[in-house]
Amino acid sequence: MALLRYYVVFAFISTIFPVITLAKDFVVGDEKVLTINFDYQAWAQGKDFRVGDKLVFNYPVGAHTVLKVNGTGFQNCIKPPANEALTSGNDEIILATPGRKWYICGVGKHCEIAGQKLFITVQPQSSSPSPAMAPSTMHMQSMPYSSKAIKDTVNYQLFFVSNSMALHRSYLVVLALISTTIPVMTLAKEFVVGDGNGWTTNFDYQAWAQGKDFRVGDKLVFSYPIGAHTVLKVNGTGFQNCIKPPATEALTSGSDKIVLATPGRKWYICGVGTHCETTGQKLFITVQPQSSSVSPAMAPSPVQSNMAVKDTVNYQLFFGVMVTVVTLALAF
């Protein structure tokens, strides 16, 4: 009986504790180091940047610099004052906060002509350490949950507690484990690109995208007057250099909807005139996977904010732990 008790407790712990990973160092460009005419967005694609991780920019001293900018500065290669530049040739930047991060080279026309710039999206972690602790930082993978699914799960647990005394002890153990490990579905969301501004010229779409949690199954909606703009899906190089695919690939309805079917980086530009080149009409996002994919046909309107969902999830997990502890005590 004692052995069974230890086995159940161990199984319970192994199923509810998130996977822990050590903070990572990312050498920008890998063996290419920091240079011109290199696709840094292709390099960043698929990488999971987290709070506490570190970017390392390697380059010959004097050949390049590293400048941190905002979305507008990134799009238009606007350089901050020279005294803000990193110039050591081995610059290390700790990613201390979540969100979009933009970096450019401040030497000559390296940003404008040679595309020497980088953007990344930094994901949060459950317990953010101080930057000084970054080498030993541990972070937990984020878990997307919808408010309705969380409410349903909590209600299930309350029902389970109220009826558990009538169940046989062996069933209590099984149900307790199930109550804390049932997967919770994420409801897909619709994002109207630019919100009230729609898809237009001279708008900072990277600032708009910053902080938004795009997930597989979500939908982008591009709204614009028919004939005024188009939507073209491109790759990282096409995004940087505004290279347009054939016109037959353009979306032109004025209310174009794109389901985000796969995780990873996604790039979109306008194919009309020089809207991409001169007015910055382009968008990139990072799509995260989800634990339980929802069919696009089932996608409802946006749910509550990520912070509120996170707080509810923390409560739900805590409640699940308490349910299991009480139930195991009753069972043994």
Q: Give the pLDDT of residue 192.
A: 93
Q: Do 269 and 215 sit in the same domain of this protein?
A: yes
CA distance 328 to 170: 10
Q: Do 180 and 315 sit in the same domain of this protein?
A: yes
pTM for the structure as a whole: 0.39
Q: Do 228 and 180 sit in the same domain of this protein?
A: no
Burial state string for 251-286 with b = 16 or more CB within 10 A and e = fewer than 16: beebebebbbeeeebbbbbbbbeebbeeebbbbbbb
Q: Do 261 and 327 sit in the same domain of this protein?
A: no
Q: Do 58 and 151 sit in the same domain of this protein?
A: no
Q: Do 91 and 42 sit in the same domain of this protein?
A: yes
Q: Do 111 and 32 sit in the same domain of this protein?
A: yes
Q: Give the pLDDT of residue 209.
A: 92
Q: Give the pLDDT of residue 23.
A: 75
Cα distance between the two ends of the chain: 8
Q: Give the pLDDT of residue 271.
A: 96
Q: Give the pLDDT of residue 130.
A: 41
Q: Give the pLDDT of residue 82.
A: 86
Q: Average pLDDT for consecutive 10-residue bins of the chain (332 residues)?
A: 54 48 81 82 89 90 93 92 90 90 94 93 66 38 41 53 52 55 61 92 93 91 94 94 92 92 94 95 92 42 37 50 60 57
Domain count, the chain: 3
Q: Do 80 and 106 sit in the same domain of this protein?
A: yes
Q: Do 28 and 69 sit in the same domain of this protein?
A: yes
Query: Which residue is it, tokens 């139930």?
Result: 327
Q: Give the pLDDT of residue 52.
A: 87
Q: Do 173 and 310 sit in the same domain of this protein?
A: yes
Residue 150's alpha-carbon distances to 85, 203, 217, 320, in angstroms, are: 46, 36, 19, 11
Q: Do 10 and 55 sit in the same domain of this protein?
A: no
- Kindly report each contact of residues 25-31 with a partner whose C-beta sits within 8 Å and lies 24 or more positions away, as own/partner: 25/53, 25/54, 25/56, 26/53, 26/54, 26/55, 26/56, 27/56, 27/58, 28/55, 28/56, 28/57, 28/58, 28/118, 29/58
Choose one of 140, 169, 204: the last residue of a domain. 140
Q: Give the pLDDT of residue 172.
A: 55
**Which residue range(s) make up the domain with 128?**
20-140
Q: Give the pLDDT of residue 135.
A: 38
The CATH number assigned to the domain holding 64 equals: 2.60.40.420
Q: Do 10 and 147 sit in the same domain of this protein?
A: yes
CA distance 232 to 96: 34
